[in-house]
Amino acid sequence: DAGVIQSPRHEVTEMGQEVTLRCKPISGHNSLFWYRQTMMRGLELLIYFNNNVPIDDSGMPEDRFSAKMPNASFSTLKIQPSEPRDSAVYFCASGGATQSGNTIYFGEGSWLTVV
């Protein structure tokens, strides 16, 4: 089975540009998470969706960040305009909702550098 698929794997962009990160969750999973990881802050939960609906976006740092999940198989995280402090690894993860467990599986991450 395919795991969580993220694109792009690496992105270098200039300050002020729009960045869009994409995620395809594991088929059948009903929860999707966006995390950001930096050396300074560690792993931060930005937002999570259940059944395509945003449940908690309290981790989204500011209005420059937005996330959507138009259907069960696709989500985007957009940064507009981007700033150098947004440089980080952005992980998408999906989780099942079965009685046997609710494990969260991560994609390989999108490594973003804003110069």
Considering the rule CB under 8 A, would residue 102 count as an interface residue with another protein? yes
Residue 31 interacts with another protein (CB under 8 A)? yes
C-beta closer to another protein: residue 33 or 65: 33
Strands (DSSP E) contained in 51-87 are 53-56, 65-71, 74-79
Task: Decide if residue 105 touches another protein (CB under 8 A).
Answer: yes
Of 19-27, 41-49, 66-74, 76-84, which part binds another protein (CB under 8 A)? 41-49
> Number of helices and strands (H, E) in the chain?
0, 11
Our measurement of the distance from residue 75's CA atom to the centroid of its chain's CA atoms, rounded to an integer in Å, reads 8
**Could you say which DSSP state residue 98 is in?**
B
Given the complex with another protein, which of 72 and 81 has the nearer CB atom? 72
Strand segments (E) across 9-64? 10-13, 19-24, 31-38, 42-50, 53-56
Rule CB under 8 A: is residue 56 a binding residue for another protein?
A: yes
The residue ranges that bind another protein (CB under 8 A) are 31, 33, 42-43, 45, 48, 50, 55-56, 89, 91, 93, 95, 97-99, 101-106, 108-109, 111
